[in-house]
Amino acid sequence: MKRSLIIVSNRLPFVINLNENGEPVRKNSAGGLVTALAPSVVKFYGFWVGWAGNELTEDMTIPESDDPTAIAHKIKPSQIVPIFFSKETYNLYYNGFCNGSLWPLMHSLPTIASFKSEQWNSYVSVNEKFANSTYETVKKFENLTDKNNLVWIHDYHLMVMPMILRNLLDDANITCKIAFFLHIPFPSWDIFRLNPWANEILLGLLGCDLIAFHTNTYAVNFIDCCYHILGARVDRREMLIEYGNKSLVVRALPIGIPYEWFEKNARIAPKPFNFREQVIFGVDRLDYTKGIIQRVLGYERFLDKYPECREKVVFFQVAVPSRTDVEDYKNLKDELEREIGRVSGRFATAEWTPIKYIYNNISQCDLAGYYRDARIALITPVRDGMNLVAKEYVACQIADPGVLIISPFTGAGETMNEALLVNPLEHDMIADAIKTAYDMKYYERKLRMNALQTRERLFNLDTWLESFFEAIDLVDTVKKMQSLN
């Protein structure tokens, strides 16, 4: 089917840096969002609206890609709509409201969240800017009354934008659906209402036709918020919300990974570890939601409790730098490095380093090798919307299968039942889960991994995209047939 499509997200599908001559060049980004959406933008010759970054200025043009392996290689500069804002706005909007207020609150960590009206105002003005540019881009669509016109907005940076855009489109009599996907959790209503602008955010989201979440729990939390905070009419079974003359279809559409791509990379990735110990592996953006400190403490407990395992395992943690201007992230880095140093110092011998730690980006191909050769993946977020690492690890287990240990407080943990589930807040539980994984015999590992692989191979990224497009195509029918009026 032919579609006119605009993807809107805080980040563009690549980073733009200036080279030594001051000219803009594209740097590949390999995040989940880009991997998921770039192929659709290529397929429908759509547009991508996103923040230009801190280096590109308005007088420069977007460069072509010179890297054929880049995920967004085939997206032309004419398909990119860059949004510019000042360094000060970036601080208030991105470091402030997005990552100092929304991020912790949406992850049910209200004590870390802080709220400042100056930051909120900046968030709204950035959302207005995104809405205006998207509106101008919609006007480039071939047919402004086609019911297949679609704007698909992503993530918590842009939650008030849908209603602003909806009003602009309605005033101009333009037909265009607006969909939203939230890549992080949606908390329960008694947490969400701590946000001083909870009403405004919910009203912003009501500008959509369809809103989708990773899990049913998040979807129901959102419906409950609309009911309790706005007093909207809701149907929890049919997942429909009505408020004034607006109606909104809600869906749980858990994202998948490009399974075969990881499997293929696992076949060609170089051998990463040249030591004989079994590897307990973790890879995360350096974020307090990921439970990395808890993981180190759980590992320490494991070495304490099971001394016979010392010198037989290595805990290998990759922490990818993230949001380095935000205070809580800086503090986390210091604390993590202190803890890793302390635990290493306690147990290391002349021949053995109990923890190996990388603070850097790593290539996707190297990553596939780490996954493949790690005997245990230790994934312990205190909260995580989905967690693609768990799925990627599973896809890369192409030989002697390893064991996945995962926190139930992740979207992935809700379905990956054959993994070992562990509450990351209790160190003994982590220690015991590592021991169980360490002792697990081949046959059990194989049984569990086969089941995990079958599910992830089936519910992969393509399935997610298909289910999204199916849901958006059915939106009008659902609204008509299931209206609560």
Residues that bind ligand G6P (CB under 6 A): 11, 31, 33, 155, 183-184, 322-323
Mapped onto helix, strand or coil, the DSSP state of residue 479 is helix
Min separation Cβ 181 and ligand G6P, Å:
10
Q: What is the C-alpha to C-alpha distance for residues 389 and 425, in angstroms, rounded to an integer?
A: 20
Q: What is the C-alpha to C-alpha distance for residues 467 and 480, in angstroms, rounded to an integer?
A: 20
Q: What is the C-alpha to C-alpha distance for residues 64 and 218, in angstroms, rounded to an integer?
A: 38
Min separation Cβ 184 and ligand G6P, Å:
5
* CB contact set of 96 (below 8 Å; sequence gap of 6+): 116, 118, 119, 122, 123
Mapped onto helix, strand or coil, the DSSP state of residue 134 is helix
Min separation Cβ 255 and ligand G6P, Å:
10
Min separation Cβ 97 and ligand G6P, Å:
13
Min separation Cβ 94 and ligand G6P, Å:
7
Min separation Cβ 385 and ligand G6P, Å:
6
**149 close to 4: Cβ distance less than 8 angstroms:** yes
**CB closer to ligand G6P out of 30 and 174:** 30
Residue indicated by tokens 């101008």: 136
Q: What is the C-alpha to C-alpha distance for residues 457 and 436, in angstroms, rounded to an integer?
A: 26
**DSSP state letters, 229-257:** II--EEETTTTEEEETTEEEEEEE-----
| Residue 153: its H or E element | strand 149-154
Q: What is the C-alpha to C-alpha distance for residues 245 and 485, in angstroms, rounded to an integer?
A: 10
**CB closer to ligand G6P out of 184 and 202:** 184
Min separation Cβ 108 and ligand G6P, Å:
15
Residue indicated by tokens 């293929």: 264
Residue number of the CB closest to ligand G6P reads: 183
Q: Which of 300, 282, 304 is nearest to 340 (CA)?
A: 300
**CB closer to ligand G6P out of 75 and 184:** 184
**CB closer to ligand G6P out of 105 and 475:** 105
**CB closer to ligand G6P out of 177 and 323:** 323
**CB closer to ligand G6P out of 258 and 272:** 258
**CB closer to ligand G6P out of 381 and 401:** 381
